[in-house]
Chain A
Amino acid sequence: MRSQLQERTLGAEHIVGLGGSSWKRRKLVLPWLFVLPALGLNLVVTIGPAVGAIYYSFTDWSGVGKATFVGLDNYRQMLQSSSGFWSALAHNLLYMCFFLTVPMAMALLASSLLAPIRRGAMLYRMGLFLPYVLPSVVTAFIWQSLMDPDLGLGSLIARWTGFRGLAQPFLGQPHTALPAIAFVDNWHWWGFLMVLFLTAMQGIPTDLYETAKIEGASRWQEFWYVTLPGIRPTVAIMILMTSIWSFLVFDYIWILTQGGPAGASEVLATLVYKAAFQNFQAGYAAAIGLTMSLLAGVVIAIFVVLRWRGWEI
Chain B
Amino acid sequence: MLRTLQSKHLRLLPNYVILTLLLVFALGPLVVLVFNSLKSAAEIGRDPLGPPTQALWSNYLRAWEIGRFSVTTRNSLILVAGTVVGVLILGGMAAYSLARLHLKGGGIVMLYLLVATTLPIQLFLVPLFFLWRHLGLVDNLFGLIIIYVALNSPFAIFLLRSYMLHIPSDFEDAARVDGAGEWQVFTRVIVPLSWPGFLTVGLVVALSVWNEFLLALTFLTDEDHFTVVTSYYNFTTQFSRDWSLTSAAAVMMIFPIVVTFLLLQRRFVEGLTSGGLKM
Contact = CB atoms under 8 A, between A and B. Distances in A.
B26, B210, B228, B265, most chain A CB atoms within 10 A: B26
Q: How large is the interface on B (under 10, 10 to 19, 20 to 34, 35 or more residues)?
A: 35 or more
B119 A41 contact: no
A241 interface: yes
Nearest to A135: B211
A45 B98 contact: no
B49 A34 contact: no
Contact of A138 (B154, B253, B261): B253
B55 interface: no
A277 interface: yes
A272 interface: yes
Contacts of B159: none
A293 interface: yes
Nearest to B210: A135
A180 to B, nearest CB: 14
Interface stretch (A68-76, A143-151, A162-170, A171-179): A143-151
A268 B118 CA distance: 17
B254 A248 contact: no
Contacts of A143: 29
Nearest to A120: B16
Contacts of A241: 277
B211 to A, nearest CB: 4
Contact of B213 (A42, A46, A137, A244): A137
Interface in A239-295: 241, 244, 247-248, 250-251, 254-255, 268-269, 272-273, 276-277, 282, 285-286, 288-290, 292-293
A196 B273 contact: yes
Q: How large is the interface on A (under 10, 10 to 19, 20 to 34, 35 or more residues)?
A: 35 or more
Interface of A: 3, 5-6, 9, 12, 27-28, 30-32, 34-35, 37-39, 41-42, 44-50, 52-53, 56, 63-64, 106, 109-110, 113-114, 116-117, 120, 122-138, 141-146, 148, 151-153, 155-156, 187, 191-192, 195-196, 199, 237-238, 241, 244, 247-248, 250-251, 254-255, 268-269, 272-273, 276-277, 282, 285-286, 288-290, 292-293, 296, 300
Given A142-B33, A192-B276, A196-B273, 12 more contacts: A9-B176, A41-B153, A46-B151, A50-B127, A113-B15, A137-B233, A137-B253, A144-B236, A145-B36, A192-B279, A250-B122, A289-B126
27 contacts: A3-B169, A31-B103, A31-B106, A34-B93, A34-B96, A34-B182, A42-B150, A45-B147, A50-B124, A53-B126, A114-B15, A114-B19, A122-B265, A125-B269, A129-B269, A132-B272, A134-B211, A135-B254, A141-B250, A142-B32, A152-B48, A247-B120, A248-B120, A288-B122, A293-B119, A296-B118, A300-B118
